[in-house]
Amino acid sequence: MSVTKDDVRRIAALARIAEPADRLDALTDELNGILKWVEQLDEVDVGGVEPMTTAAPTVLPRRSDDVTDGGIRDDILKNAPKSEEGFFVVPKSVE
């Protein structure tokens, strides 16, 4: 894959970066160099390598995923201007 001057112009326009015409050649060469380096990474054999998010193996702390209502429904509903059968009552907004 290679980048052309038109690609660089389009990328600069999408990024809202004003690049002068005399810099387009240098940017094109630079982006093509980056893409060649990325293509080299495809040659690395990563078979059998587990994906990782960090170099140091860590176990994230977990908590149980218990669904609760907090046990304070009545205290919360005391703050409502109007409640009915354990729910907030709000004005009708759709006809």
DSSP character at residue 23: G
Give Cβ neighbours of residue 41 (< 8 Å, ≥ 6 apart). none
How many separate domains does the chain show?
Answer: 1
Retrieve residue 42's tokens. 């495809």
Residue 60 lies in a domain: no
Q: Residue 83 forms beta bridges with which residues?
A: 88
Is 78 inside a domain boundary? no
By residue range, what is the domain housing residue 18? 5-41
Please tell me the predicted confidence (pLDDT) of residue 18.
92
Confidence band of 38 (pLDDT split at 50, 70, 90): very high
- Round to whole Å and give the CA distance between 62 and 80: 34
Predicted TM-score of the model (pTM): 0.50
